Amino acid sequence: MGEVDLSVTYGAMFVGVLFATFFQGVLTLQTYLYYANFPKDHIFIKLLVACVWLLDVAHLVLISQSCYHYLVQSWGDGAALLISTQELDLHLVFVGFACFVCQCFFLSRIWNFSQRNWMLTIVLGIPCLVIFILEATISGEISRIPSVSAFDQFTGEVLSVFALAAAVDLAIAIILVWYLRQGKTSFDRSSFVVDRIVQYTVATGLATSVLAVADLIVYLATPNTFIFIAMHFSMGRLYTNALLATLNSRQKLRQALEGGGANSLASRNMAHASTGPSFAFQVNGIQTGTTTTNVHFRKANLGPSDGAYGIDDNSTIARGQGGRGNRGGFLCIDFFGTWAQLS
């Protein structure tokens, strides 16, 4: 890189920081809504949300410091504009790790839907891990070559990151949709909820895939600019916002299932019952039209057509309007956003 064109390099970086700040604000709002609406979620999920929020805050600090260095501290110093800062190099690790954590979350849903299909989960998990390793490797190598033109030496790695990210995100979305459609019931209200979950899944999967493809195209079309770096600033936040949107969507799904009380839970109290090596819950008072049914659930390895699933205190259940011999079905949404048809 010879003479620096500020409009497509550090000007683009500045715009990228502005977009990252906007998405950080959206993520912060979503995080607040999550803790306000789901105080009884599993501690693991609460820690996961805190982790991704803190990762993105740290990342925003790094890229803001980089932007401040180039546009304020080193303004007018042409030589300084060609030197890569440690903060700019390190941001790749934070983006890569945030993306990896969120992808693991969605892989956990596939693992649940597929009756704990380890092979499928591992096949999808390997490229997710490779993406993070590539991001960390590029970060480490560029830090040894303190030059903003060092990205030109890692074209293969950069293209691999974007291509793998687009392919994996699209594959995860397609597989999740397939399992959801396989277990769709004939009950109108639960069918509506499954359709909504499918819409959320497609939207989040396509959003991250489209950004990865766009980043790849921009990198190839304008290799001597920082436009792809500016877009990459927001990639991690697109993943984390997708994760929080998935968790927060349970509020609307619960309202859709309850439908003003027609299929609501009269009581959310659960009593444990011993079942040998596994365990069970008893949910009392599920209102189904004019009758109230006591339903027992046991924790098990389930597919879309299996008949039981363990739930937590934030789960939502709807009862199908099936008569004798007719499988009405239940829909359960647990703290992973996971669902299963129950009989």
Whether residues 36 and 84 share a domain: the answer is yes
Instruction: Give the rounded percent of residues in the chain with a pLDDT score beyond 90.
Output: 44
The average pLDDT across 205-214 equals: 90
Residues 265 and 219 in one domain: no
Q: Give me the chain's average pLDDT, please.
A: 75
> Quick one: what percent of the chain has pLDDT higher than 70?
69
For 49, other C-beta atoms within 10 Å of its C-beta total 21
- Contact between 280 and 309 under an 8 Å Cβ cutoff? The reply is no
Identify whether the C-beta of residue 147 lies closer than 8 Å to the C-beta of residue 83: yes
Domain shared by 211 and 308, yes or no: no
Q: At what angle do helices 235-258 and 10-37 cross, to 10 degrees?
A: 30
Considering only 4-13, 70-79, 151-160, 316-325, which range has the smallest mean pLDDT? 316-325
Residue 82 lies in a domain: yes
Using 50, 70 and 90 to split pLDDT, how confident is the model at 254? confident
Are 315 and 330 a contacting pair, CB within 8 Å? no
More confident residue, 183 or 300: 183
**236 lies in the same domain as 94:** yes
Whether 88 shows a pLDDT value over 80: the answer reads yes
Query: Would the pTM count as exceeding 0.85?
Result: no
Q: Are 288 and 148 contained in the same domain?
A: no
Residues in the chain: 343
Boundary-marking domain end, from 250, 284, 304: 250
Q: Which of 107-111, 321-325, 329-333 has the lowest mean pLDDT?
A: 321-325
* Total domain count, the chain: 2
Could you tell me the pLDDT band of residue 228, with boundaries at 50, 70 and 90?
very high
In a domain, 199, yes or no: yes
Average pLDDT for 320-343:
38
Question: Are 271 and 245 found together in one domain?
Answer: no
pLDDT at 277 over 60: no
Q: Residue 244 belongs to what domain range? A: 10-250
What is the per-residue pLDDT for 1?
Answer: 53
Instruction: For residue range 73-84, list pLDDT tens digits in order.
Output: 888 787 888 888
Q: Are residues 179 and 114 in the same domain?
A: yes
Q: Are the C-beta atoms of residues 189 and 256 closer than 8 Å to each other?
A: yes
Q: Does residue 266 sit within a domain?
A: yes
Tell me, yes or no, whether 228 and 265 share the same domain. Answer: no
